[in-house]
Structure 1
Amino acid sequence: MDLNSLNIDTPLDLINQATQTGLIGSLGIEITKTGTGTVEGCMQLSEKNCRPDGILHGGANLAFAESLAGLGSMLMVDFENYDVLGIQVNGSHTSSLRKGKAYAVANILHPGNQTHIWNVDVRNEEGRLISTVRVTNMIVKRNDKY
């Protein structure tokens, strides 16, 4: 299975299998739930996504959020005819994470024809907010120059 065949009804095990060979797999991200306008996932802390002092790396945290929002947009479009391109990621880190897993919920705020805007909240296992991230994806017709 490849990412081009994803849709909202794609089973989670197939989504996770298709995403494990790239950055998503390297960071330890697992997709745990998909629905119309929402994607949830978790990321186990490891040396691959932490700073040398063991704290979750802010860049890995942003990549986690952008991955969920990007997948959400991919699940919402006709992926045979349109590409999803991340064009802006803006995050505010409110606390740090030193152990366990990070959990994130991505919710679409604007499901437009040309742009999707997502809010992604990343929390620790107890539910404390770690980061809140805004992701904007551009929806472009395949073969358009971009």
Structure 2
Amino acid sequence: MTEKNLAGAFNENNAPFAKMMGVKMTHVAKDRLEGELVVTKDHCTVPDILHGGAIMAFADNMGGIGAFLNMQPGAMTTTIESKTNFLRGIPIGQTAKAITTPVNIGRTLQAWKTDIFREDGKLAAVVTQTQLVKVQKD
């Protein structure tokens, strides 16, 4: 993979669940990912704020893409641990913005951190996750 922004390619080929949620990648590189999610009624809990599960799914997709970009060809990845700190709500109609960076890139384990912000720039959630990487043998 080159170091150019791969956001367009990932918007076309993102995971079906991420597409259904409406995740839009704005920057995709091996060392930093950025994405957006417009908060709709379908993403919300009562009273009209982004559901915690939607936040976690958004971040999980971001970390999975980061892991994919940093794996050997033919390897597979899965999330084995995820922790979320919810700091502020994100109201319906706003765009949640995520920035994902690697904490550690190992051969078989990768750790990623995703910061999710509200439109006013305030941090709404911090998600850390661990991705298991398994190299497929012929």
Task: Work out the CA distance in 2 between the residues paired with 1:48 and 1:113.
Answer: 38
- Aligned residue number for residue 7 of structure 2: 12
Task: Work out the CA distance in 2 between the residues paired with 1:77 and 1:7.
Answer: 14
State the secondary structure of the residue aligned to 2:43: coil
Task: Work out the CA distance in 1 between the residues paired with 2:49 and 2:36.
Answer: 16
- Equivalent residues in 2 for 1:19-38, closer than 5 Å: 19=14, 22-38=16-32
Q: Work out the percentage of aligned pairs sharing the same amino acid.
A: 22
Return the letter of the residue paired with 1:93.
Answer: F
The reply to whether residue 85 of structure 1 matches residue 78 of structure 2 is: yes
- Equivalent residues in 2 for 1:35-114, closer than 5 Å: 35-79=29-73, 81-99=74-92, 100-114=94-108
| 1:96-126 Cα distance to aligned partner (Å, 9 max, x none) | 0113110010110100111000111000111
8 Å CA contact 2:6–2:27 kept in 1: the answer is no
8 Å CA contact 2:67–2:77 kept in 1: the answer is yes
* Structure 2: 5+ residue stretches without partners: none
- Equivalent residues in 2 for 1:118-137, closer than 5 Å: 118-137=112-131
State the secondary structure of the residue aligned to 1:92: strand
The number of residues matched between the two structures is 137
8 Å CA contact 2:5–2:27 kept in 1: the answer is no
State the secondary structure of the residue aligned to 1:67: helix
Task: Work out the CA distance in 1 between the residues paired with 2:3 and 2:14.
Answer: 15
* Structure 1: 5+ residue stretches without partners: 1-5
8 Å CA contact 2:102–2:110 kept in 1: the answer is yes
Q: Under a length normalisation based on structure 2, what TM-score does the superposition of the two structures give? A: 0.90
Judge which range, 7-16 or 88-97, deviates more. 7-16
Moved over 6 A (4+): none
State the secondary structure of the residue aligned to 1:69: helix
Task: Work out the CA distance in 2 between the residues paired with 1:124 and 1:60.
Answer: 14
8 Å CA contact 2:5–2:29 kept in 1: the answer is no
CA RMSD in angstroms comes to: 1.9
